Amino acid sequence: MPAQSTRSSVLVGPSTMSAPPAPAKKQAPWKGFLSGSLGAMASGAVTHPIDLVKVRMQLYGQGSEASGGSAASKAPLKAPPGMMRTGYLVVKHEGTFGLYKGLSASLMRQASFIGTKFGAYDLLKSAVPKDADGGLSFWKMTLCGLGAGAIGAAVGNPADLAMVRMQADGRLPLELRRNYRHGGEALMRVVREEGVFALWRGCAPTVNRAMIVTASQMAVYDKSKAVILKESGAKDGLAVQTGASFIAGVVAALTSNPIDLAKSRLMTMKPDAGGRMPYTGTMDCIVKTARSEGLGALYKGLIPTAARQVPLNMVRFISVEAMKKLLANVD
């Protein structure tokens, strides 16, 4: 009897009972913003030369109809130089460091715009009601991406404007160049010379583009990652994150280029002799560009956009995932 009693106590004792799984630790909101900012700054510094080449290609040919030029200026335009040719011309006329014009503003943009976007996306996902399986459907992730993109773009537009102007400065005649020395000076001069609200010039296409890009980037990344994990049985790691971020980058490049082109042109436009701006908004810019340069002009800079978006997404998402892992145990 004693032996049986001992055996029973062993069978039902606490040492053999399975403990309930510990609830997942909820990430503090600031970690999403910080990891997004650091990861974005790292990826932005690596891909900045490609972004500069993209902006130069997108601005090629503008000004014929939009600036109210002469009939001669409205003659059919030659095809813009390709990505490698554009980069070569920048180095030839402005030196190697010409490829890094606007880098300080770019880092400001990455920290403010992209950091806010990643942080807002995590917050919105945590606020949205979960599905029966505890996850989020693709359309819910898309809605979170749209909201996060709008918030991030509104916060980051001043730095974005400074970056685009600094990148575009080298293509202007010497007497028209703004010659901003760094991002901080660019912001101060814009406020002093054009007013505070000029910092949000081009905000509409920036928000539109950011909503499209963020929805495609974030939702496609999360969905692709979930599918890869489920179908391959692999663990979440570098290989899975690389594959998912590659897919997200391709989708983002294809969907965003026309609006990205309009954003670049709106941010760099100058008034004509009568004080009128060449474009009144995103759609006006897209319509005038297509009418004067052809529909294909809306995809000017697509190759550098894709060449930047794909590796940028890969570096950015991998960096953000690494930062989240590092910050996981930080209180």
Sequence-separated (6 or more) residues with CB below 8 Å from residue 166? 101, 102, 105, 178, 180, 183, 186
CA triple 51-295-82, angle to 5 deg: 40
**Matching residue, tokens 């913003």:** 33
pLDDT exceeding 70 applies to what percent of the chain? 85
The CA distance from 23 to 28, in Å, is 15
Looking at residue 152, what is its pLDDT? 92
**Mean pLDDT, range 206-212, rounded to an integer:** 85
Q: What is the pLDDT of residue 40?
A: 79
Close Cβ partners of 11 (under 8 Å, ≥ 6 residues apart): none
Q: Give the model confidence (pLDDT) of 108-131 as tens digits.
A: 888 888 888 888 998 999 899 988
**Homologous superfamily (CATH) for 31-65+78-327:** Mitochondrial carrier domain (1.50.40.10)
- Give yes or no for residue 27 having a pLDDT over 90: no
Q: Is the pLDDT of residue 316 over 70?
A: yes
Task: Give the ranges where the chain is alpha helix by DSSP (H).
Answer: 2-12, 29-59, 83-94, 103-109, 115-127, 138-168, 183-194, 203-214, 220-232, 238-268, 282-293, 302-327
pLDDT higher than 80, residue 71: no
Mean pLDDT of the chain: 81
pLDDT at 312: 76
d(CA 267, CA 290): 18
Tokens representing 302 are 């697509």
* pLDDT at position 29: 66
190 class by beta-carbon count within 10 Å (0-12 exposed, 13-18 middle, 19+ buried): buried
When mean pLDDT is compared over 36-45, 178-187, 220-229, 302-311, the highest value belongs to 220-229
